[in-house]
């Protein structure tokens, strides 16, 4: 989890200088203790500015003894402990600082960084959100939150691709980015369902998409969804749509009213995709009446519809689990927060908020519900919310047209991570770097963007510069590894990959690249030790290429039978991928010609 | 489940965010070139009567077929010893019919004076459907080269009548390109080869994917500007076809019997050579985002797909890439045919060096090709000695998938097995950037230097006439008697100051067919010794053969 240290440092410096101007006036004898404190603080800050965090710590501790309730000492101690890797200790001081000045955003930002570094992402998300809350106009706070969201999103994306259910979730997420009537959306849902047919809600999503896109096999899929997910509200809206298409308005209204009873928000959402004008001539009863009136109107506003919706019905049984199973999102979201050791309840609460579009509250809940290893469904919802959150905030900053370094950073992040516009990102990071030369966070981002833009030499230089300033920058290490791998200079890639694997052992993509690099440098045992377990853990290998690589390693190790097995698996996977396409194509694909509407 | 509706970025951007992260799109660069090049080419097509324009009928819908047309074939249809040129073309969409002359395939007769004449309609080879590629061979051993045209949902065999006309004998011959269940396939390339060494050319067809205009999904956004061509993963793979020449004007599809019934792929270019020196012709098929195929001819009518075991199924990094064109020739002078395969930008081309033990190793980095090829989307390609120095250079027709990705062609000069990009110094007009596709190689003006014809989408054909500094050369036109008459599969060893090995094969690059004439650049050698290994097993030796001539050599009736 990285942060725009330079950006925050500038703000901190300004604050400190103001502080110094006020307090560092010539001292009288009565002010000796205070002057001593001021001297220590200035000395510590000087060390801090030079990056000598270790050296600053004892000085700060002396100052703390003199004035334990001083905001700056606590904040600086927290930051320098953080910079020296002592995150747990840092948190105590940062908390203290935040209590001393609850309207300052800086302690929360650093607190978020420390918590994220310790893997306490729920707390980190809350800290970052708190920073924005106490300083709504603070660009730094906004940048920090976007940065955190993007980093978590990227982490989720990587982890999701580490298993077939995760890959299915990734496809599903991708599907949701397509228009609801699009054939591409339908096909991505199909692909997700093929990879993980037990993913909750996938069949209902698929059925809804199939019907909206006009897929010929929509009926079969709907039947499948009815069997697998009878309580899914998306399925009910699909059934309502099917009934409406057959002009069975009574059945359609009944289904829609049933949806509204459980979750009015889901009915409102259905209105967004419902074919325009598909409504009965006569008025229906219940919330369906409002629904049909909206979809009939050219000026239908789902916001208005949402306001008009009655409250959901209260069921006799209302345990969190029951509310979740019945998708009563509004009721579930109003329950008191569960205890910390109840990850399932947190997950359910998070999904409820996400379904209601409140990602700010969904994220901490989903993070608390994240198991180890994390479930694909949880990662799916977290990715969804992080992307929404980052996009919304970044969009606001983009519209601001602000030229400050922080704005350049955010724009660069958005271009790099959300929009795959590496060249645009390079320009933004260069602008940020011009304002803050030598900031390792900007340098490593610039390197990553330059690599993506094909500027390998410049990327190498900047990544190396970032590592000289901060040897633990993972993104810089990854960029250098990627450059070497791209050049098939596997020996050069190895040191970076080894460090990354040590730091992020859960990142299977690093293990795969490490295995590849070992294989190509004749470290066959090491290659086997990396590739074998990763594939056993279900790392996706849809076309069999990784099993092929493993087979070549095993063959060279003289493990003939194991190699044959790996090759056989590779062939099976490759053939299965092709056969799966066969099966898909045997179903009549959906018509797409009407998408130009 | 909430839709992405409230998001502030576009759906396409959101899709990119979700899907990619790992996608890189470097800008192409112009580095790694030398200021002076011994290879100089000039586009003479505009003034020589070659007025072919490749049309794919793209109108914004982004049908998958639009990206792939453009194969070329060199044919000496009038048997005058001068290479003529056949250009395949697209058709109207979605009908897949050639609804007008703008979609005709074109046959250009070489006037032997640097100009060409369009003889398409007289020859009757304008085609009917959405064609992709062509293969040339004398399948009936009558001394006349015939044309097999492959395309979307229908292939055509034109028999050369010897009087400037051709007859469509597809139906009688049984080579229409359907699979065992009668499904129409989308063929991209074909190669004539005598897989069973019975003296008659058989036919190998690479098919791409299951596609029809009515079921082609929409990818990218809904509006035209954001729509994109779908990834090949969206489509099912198809089987390849192997037609056995029955010798009576008919063929029998025998891929199952040969042992290839379970082999599916998204086949693109085909390259043929006897990679293991067993006297039987093998074939490499580049695949688009799928494992490549190496068809090992085991004899006895049996073929085994061994791409994985031979180390050519994936690139040297163990990944599948967008394999497009391929060639199978000895680039490093060790007498063994190596494989080059082009891919799209950022994937780098792959060079598989033949180890001589039935397997291949990655030579992309050691040959220098890896970084040189990274910025370029390569389609047709060929190992050709453009500067007659005795080393096979690499020519690549370049261009992206989308209209906004035109690229100039590339020439990678081979200097003792190391490549350098000499494109920028290859001529003032060589930098023209287009969506290049097919390429075929021949010495069209018979001046001892290999020329290149290249197609590009929506643009006139290019004929890159070789104007490099003259050096010594030798060209051989082989005629089989016991072997197939086209001599495809013959191995020729040329011994001068160094030894060169060539294989007679014309399925080169992407969907294209080059001249069957064997060309040797001889640098400063004035005389050489030739050793011809005919597919029949006959060995023929010729000593003290002077350079700078074109020899017609007939296979001796006895070894």
* pLDDT tens digits, one per residue of A86-108: 999 999 999 999 999 999 999 99
- Is residue A581 within 8 angstroms of chain B, CB to CB? yes
Q: Looking at residue A300, what is its pLDDT? A: 76
Q: How far is the C-alpha of B382 from the C-alpha of A385, rounded, in Å?
A: 50
Q: Are residues A506 and A477 in the same domain?
A: no
Closest Cα to residue A500, out of A532, A461, A463, A536?
A463
Q: How far is B231 from chain A (nearest CA, A)?
A: 11
Distance from the Cα of B39 to chain A's closest Cα (Å) equals 27
Contact state of B18 with A174 under an 8 Å Cβ cutoff: yes
In which band, very low, low, confident or very high, does the pLDDT at A192 lie, cut at 50, 70 and 90?
A: confident
**Does residue A396 fall inside a structural domain?**
no
Chain A partners within 8 Å of B294 (Cβ): none
Residues A481 and A502 in one domain: no
Nearest-neighbour CA in chain A from B348: distance (Å) = 9
Are A483 and A502 part of one and the same domain?
no
As to burial, measured by CB atoms within 10 angstroms (0-12 exposed, 13-18 middle, 19+ buried), residue B541 is exposed
Q: Is the pLDDT of residue B26 over 50?
A: no
Asked whether the ipTM of the predicted complex exceeds the cut of 0.90, the reply is no
The answer on pLDDT for A153 being more than 70 is yes
Do A32 and A59 lie in one domain? The reply is yes
Among A485, A584, A596, select the one facing B236 at the smallest CB separation: A584
Q: Which of the residues B8, B17, B234 would you substitute to probe the A interface, choosing the one with the greatest number of A C-beta atoms within 10 Å?
A: B17
Percent of chain B with pLDDT over 70: 92
Residue A466 in any domain: the answer is yes
Closest Cβ opposite residue B210 in set A180, A205, A585? A585
Whether residue A183 and residue B370 make contact (CB cut-off 8 A), yes or no, is no
Contact A548 B2 (CB under 8 A): no
Q: How many domains does chain A have?
A: 4
Check pLDDT > 90 for residue A399: no
**pLDDT, tens digit, 9 for 90 and up, residues B423-467:** 999 988 899 999 999 999 999 999 999 999 999 999 999 999 999
- Residue A176 reports pLDDT greater than 90: no
Preceding amide of B94 cis, omega within 30: yes
- Beta-carbon separation of A174 and B8 below 8 A: no
Q: What's CA A190's distance to the chain center, in Å?
A: 23
What residues of chain A, 523 to 552, have a C-beta less than 8 Å from chain B? 543-546, 548-549, 551-552
- Answer yes or no: is A400 within a domain: no
Same domain? A208 vs A259 = yes
Q: What is the pLDDT of residue B34?
A: 39
Q: Which of A184, A191, A507 to mutate to test the interface with B (most CBs of B within 10 A)?
A: A184
E strand or H helix that includes residue B225 = none
User: Which pLDDT value is given to residue B21?
Assistant: 29
Nearest by CB to residue B217, choosing from A183, A454, A487, is A183
Indicate the pLDDT class of residue A21, thresholds 50, 70 and 90. very low
What is residue A5's predicted lDDT score, i.e. its pLDDT?
43
The answer to whether the CB atoms of B265 and A578 lie below 8 A apart is: yes
pLDDT band at A201 (very low <50, low <70, confident <90, very high): very high
Give the structural domain span for A277. Answer: 164-342
Task: Tell me the nearest-neighbour CA distance from A274 into chain B, angstroms.
Answer: 13
Mutate to test the interface with B, among A190, A390, A548, A593 (most CBs of B within 10 A): A548
Strands B116-118 and B106-110, bridge-based pairing? antiparallel
Least confident of A41-50, A58-67, A530-539, B2-11: B2-11
pLDDT at position B544 is 97
> Distance between CA atoms of A466 and A458, rounded to whole angstroms?
12
Domain identity same for A555 and A439: no
Q: Is residue A290 one of the residues assigned to a domain?
A: yes
Q: With beta carbons less than 8 A apart as the criterion, state whether B203 and B140 touch.
A: no
A270 and A199, same domain (yes or no):
yes
- Name every chain B residue with its beta carbon within 8 A of the beta carbon of A184: 217-220, 230
CB contact under 8 A, B6 and A420: no
DSSP assigned state of B247 = S
Model-level pTM greater than 0.80?
no
Q: Which residues of A touch B28 (CB under 8 A)?
A: 454
* pLDDT for the residue A597: 23
Q: Check residue A187 and give its pLDDT.
A: 82
Lowest model confidence (mean pLDDT) among A42-51, A500-509, B181-190, B517-526: A500-509
Let me know if residue A123 belongs to a domain.
Answer: yes
Tens of pLDDT along B189-206? 999 999 999 999 999 999
Among A342, A364, A387, which residue terminates a domain?
A: A342
Q: How far is A438 from chain B (nearest CA, A)?
A: 25
* Residues A485, B314: C-beta atoms closer than 8 Å: no
Q: How confident is the model at residue A586 (pLDDT cuts 50, 70, 90)?
A: very low
Residue A115: which of A350, A386, A368, A339 has the closest Cα? Answer: A368
Residue A373: asked if its preceding bond is cis (omega within 30°), the reply is yes
A490 close contact with B: CB closer than 8 A = no
Q: Using the predicted structure, report yes or no on whether residue A228 has a pLDDT greater than 80.
A: yes
Question: Is A111 inside any structural domain?
Answer: yes
Among A50-59, A225-234, B416-425, which stretch is predicted with the lowest mean pLDDT? A50-59
**Could you tell me which residue, A405 or A320, shows the higher pLDDT?**
A320
**Average pLDDT score over residue span A276-300:** 86
Tell me if chain B has a CB within 8 Å of the CB of A458.
Answer: no
Q: Is B121 a residue whose pLDDT tops 70?
A: yes
A352-377: average pLDDT: 91
Q: How confident is the model at residue B225 (pLDDT cuts 50, 70, 90)?
A: low
CB B113 within 8 A of CB B85: no
Write the DSSP assignment of B148-212 as a string of letters: EEEEBT--EEEEE-SSS-EEE-HHHHT-S-B-TT--B-BEEEEEEE-TT-SSS-EEEEEE-B---
Is A242 inside any structural domain? yes
Last residue of a domain, one of A487, A517, A537: A487
Of the partner residues B9, B15, B237, the one whose CB lies closest to the CB of residue A391: B9
Per the model's pLDDT, the better-predicted residue between A473 and B542 turns out to be: B542
Cβ neighbours of B236 in A, within 8 Å: 578, 581-582, 584-585
Please give, rounded to a whole number of angstroms, the shortest distance from the CA of B290 to a CA of chain A. 7
Higher per-residue pLDDT: B229 or A512? A512
- Compare all CA atoms of chain B with the CA of A454 and give the residue at the minimum distance: B26
CATH number of domain containing A216: 1.25.40
Report the alpha-carbon distance of residue B462 to residue B453 in Å, rounded.
6
pLDDT for the residue A4: 40
Does the pLDDT value for residue B96 go beyond 80?
yes
* CATH number of the domain that residue A480 is part of: 1.25.40.10
Tell me which of A459, A487, A515 is where a domain ends.
A487
Query: Are A232 and A320 part of one and the same domain?
Result: yes
Structure tokens at A41: 């603080």
Same domain, residue pair A173 and A288: yes
Q: Which residue has the higher pLDDT, B76 or A50?
A: B76
CA-CA distances (angstroms) from residue A255 to A231, A290, A292, A355, A409?
12, 14, 13, 19, 48
Q: Are residues B237 and A417, on separate chains, in Cβ contact within 8 Å? A: no
On whether both A272 and A327 belong to a single domain, the answer is yes
pLDDT at residue number B16:
35
Q: What is the pLDDT of residue A529?
A: 96
CA A40, distance to chain mean position in Å, is 41
Q: What is the DSSP string of A331-365?
A: HHHHSPPPPTT-HHHHHHHHHHHHHTT-HHHHHHH
User: Per-residue pLDDT for A317 more than 80?
Assistant: no
Task: Identify whether A209 is part of a domain.
Answer: yes
Q: Is the pLDDT of residue B224 over 80?
A: no
Based on the domain organization, do A335 and A427 belong to the same domain?
no
Q: Could you tell me if A472 and A512 lie in one domain?
A: no
């Amino acid at each position: 989890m990285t942060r725009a240290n330079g950006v925050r440092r500038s703000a901190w410096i300004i604050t400190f200088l103001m502080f110094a101007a006020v307090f560092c006036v010539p001292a009288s004898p009565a002010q000796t203790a205070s002057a001593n404190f001021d001297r220590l603080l200035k000395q510590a800050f000087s060390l801090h500015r030079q990056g000598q965090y270790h050296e600053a710590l004892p000085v700060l501790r002396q100052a703390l003894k003199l004035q334990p309730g001083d905001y700056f000492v606590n904040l600086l101690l927290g930051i320098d402990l953080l910079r020296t890797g002592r995150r747990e200790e840092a948190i105590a001081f940062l908390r203290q600082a935040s209590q001393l000045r609850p309207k300052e955003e800086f302690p929360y930002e650093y607190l978020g960084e420390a918590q994220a570094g310790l893997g306490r992402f729920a707390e980190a998300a809350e800290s970052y959100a708190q920073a924005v809350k106490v300083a709504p106009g603070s660009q730094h706070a906004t940048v920090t939150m976007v940065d955190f969201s993007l980093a978590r999103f990227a982490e989720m994306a990587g982890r999701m691709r580490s298993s077939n259910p995760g890959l299915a979730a990734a496809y599903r997420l991708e599907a949701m980015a397509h228009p609801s009537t699009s054939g591409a959306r339908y096909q991505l849902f199909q692909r997700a369902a093929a990879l993980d047919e037990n993913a909750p809600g996938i069949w209902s999503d698929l059925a809804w998409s199939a019907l909206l896109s006009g897929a010929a096999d929509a009926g079969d899929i709907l039947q499948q969804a009815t069997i697998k997910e009878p309580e899914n509200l998306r399925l009910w809206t699909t059934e309502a749509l099917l009934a409406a298409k057959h002009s069975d308005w009574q059945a359609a209204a009944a289904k829609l009213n049933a949806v509204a009873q459980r979750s009015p928000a889901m009915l409102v959402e259905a209105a967004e995709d419902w074919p325009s004008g598909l409504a009965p001539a006569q008025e229906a009863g219940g919330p369906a009446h409002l629904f049909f009136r909206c979809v009939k109107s050219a000026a239908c506003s789902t916001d208005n519809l949402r306001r008009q919706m009655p409250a959901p019905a209260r069921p006799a049984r209302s345990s969190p689990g029951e509310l979740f199973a019945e998708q009563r999102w509004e009721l579930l979201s109003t329950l008191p927060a569960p205890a910390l050791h109840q990850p399932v309840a947190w997950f359910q609460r998070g999904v409820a908020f996400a379904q209601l579009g409140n990602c700010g509250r969904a994220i901490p809940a989903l993070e608390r519900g994240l198991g180890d290893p994390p479930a694909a469904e949880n990662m799916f919802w977290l990715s969804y919310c992080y992307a929404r959150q980052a996009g919304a905030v970044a969009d606001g900053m983009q519209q601001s047209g602000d030229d400050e370094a922080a704005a350049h950073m955010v724009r660069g992040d958005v271009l790099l991570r959300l929009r795959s516009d590496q060249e645009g990102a390079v320009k933004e990071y260069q602008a940020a770097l011009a304002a803050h030369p030598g900031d390792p966070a900007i340098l490593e981002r610039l390197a990553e963007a330059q690599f993506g833009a094909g500027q390998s030499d410049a990327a190498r230089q900047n990544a190396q510069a970032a590592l000289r300033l901060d040897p633990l920058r993972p993104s810089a290490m990854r960029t250098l590894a990627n450059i070497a791998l791209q050049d098939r200079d596997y020996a050069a890639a190895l040191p970076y990959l080894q460090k990354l694997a040590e730091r992020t052992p859960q990142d299977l993509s690093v293990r795969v690249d490490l295995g590849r690099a070992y294989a190509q440098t004749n470290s066959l045992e090491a290659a086997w030790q990396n590739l074998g377990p990763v594939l056993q853990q279900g790392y996706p290998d849809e076309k069999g290429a990784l099993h092929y690589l493993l087979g070549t390693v095993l063959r060279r190790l003289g493990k003939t039978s194991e190699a044959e097995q790996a090759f056989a698996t590779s062939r099976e996977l490759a053939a299965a991928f092709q056969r799966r396409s066969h099966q898909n194509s045997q179903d009549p694909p959906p018509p797409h010609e009407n998408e130009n509407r | 489940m909430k839709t992405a509706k409230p998001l502030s970025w576009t759906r396409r951007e959101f899709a990119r965010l979700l899907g990619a992260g790992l996608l890189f799109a470097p800008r192409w660069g112009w580095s790694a070139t030398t200021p002076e090049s011994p290879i100089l080419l000039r586009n003479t097509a505009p003034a020589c009567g070659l007025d072919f324009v490749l049309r794919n009928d793209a109108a914004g819908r982004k049908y998958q077929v639009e990206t792939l047309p453009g194969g070329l074939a060199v044919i000496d249809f009038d048997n005058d010893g001068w290479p003529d040129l056949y250009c395949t073309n697209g058709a109207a969409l979605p009908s897949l019919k050639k609804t007008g002359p703008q979609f005709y395939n074109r046959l250009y007769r070489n006037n032997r004076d640097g100009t060409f004449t369009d003889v398409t309609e007289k020859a009757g080879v304008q085609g009917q459907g959405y064609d992709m590629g062509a293969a040339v061979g004398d399948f009936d051993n009558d001394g006349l080269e015939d044309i097999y045209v492959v395309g979307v949902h229908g292939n055509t065999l034109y028999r050369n009548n010897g009087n400037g006309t051709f007859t469509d004998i597809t139906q009688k011959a049984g080579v229409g390109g359907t699979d065992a269940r009668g499904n129409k396939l989308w063929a991209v390339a074909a190669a004539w080869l005598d897989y069973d060494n019975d003296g008659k050319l058989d036919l190998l067809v690479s098919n791409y994917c299951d596609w029809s205009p009515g079921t082609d999904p929409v990818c990218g956004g809904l509006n035209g500007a954001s729509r994109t061509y779908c990834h090949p993963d969206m489509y099912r793979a198809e089987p390849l076809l192997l037609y056995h020449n029955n010798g009576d004007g008919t063929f029998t599809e025998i891929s199952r019997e040969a042992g290839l019934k379970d082999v599916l792929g998204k086949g693109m270019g085909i390259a043929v050579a006897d990679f293991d020196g067993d006297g039987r012709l093998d074939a490499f098929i580049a695949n688009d985002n799928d494992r490549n195929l190496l068809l090992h001819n085991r004899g006895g009518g049996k073929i085994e797909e061994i791409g994985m075991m031979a180390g050519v199924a994936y690139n040297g990094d163990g990944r599948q890439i967008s394999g497009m064109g391929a060639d199978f020739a000895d680039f490093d002078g060790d007498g063994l045919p190596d494989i080059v395969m082009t891919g799209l930008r950022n994937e780098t081309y792959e060079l598989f060096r033949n180890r001589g033990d039935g397997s291949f190793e990655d030579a992309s980095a050691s040959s220098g090709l890896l970084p040189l090829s990274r910025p370029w989307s390569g389609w047709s390609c060929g190992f050709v000695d453009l500067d007659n120095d005795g080393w096979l250079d690499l020519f690549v027709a370049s261009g992206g998938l989308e209209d906004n990705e035109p690229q100039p062609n590339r020439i990678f000069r081979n200097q003792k097995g190391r490549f350098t990009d000499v494109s920028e110094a290859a001529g003032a007009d060589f930098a023209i950037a287009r969506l290049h596709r097919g390429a075929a190689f021949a010495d069209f003006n018979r001046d001892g230097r290999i020329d290149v014809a290249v197609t590009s989408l929506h643009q006139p054909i290019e004929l890159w006439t070789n104007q490099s500094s003259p050096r010594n050369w030798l060209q051989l036109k082989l005629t089989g008697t016991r072997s197939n008459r086209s001599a495809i599969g013959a191995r020729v060893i040329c011994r001068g100051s160094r030894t060169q090995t060539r294989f007679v094969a014309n399925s080169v690059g992407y969907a294209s067919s080059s001249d069957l004439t064997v060309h040797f650049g001889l640098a400063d050698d004035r005389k050489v010794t030739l050793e011809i290994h005919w597919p029949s097993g006959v060995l023929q030796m010729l000593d003290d053969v002077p350079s700078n001539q074109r020899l017609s050599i007939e296979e001796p009736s006895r070894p």
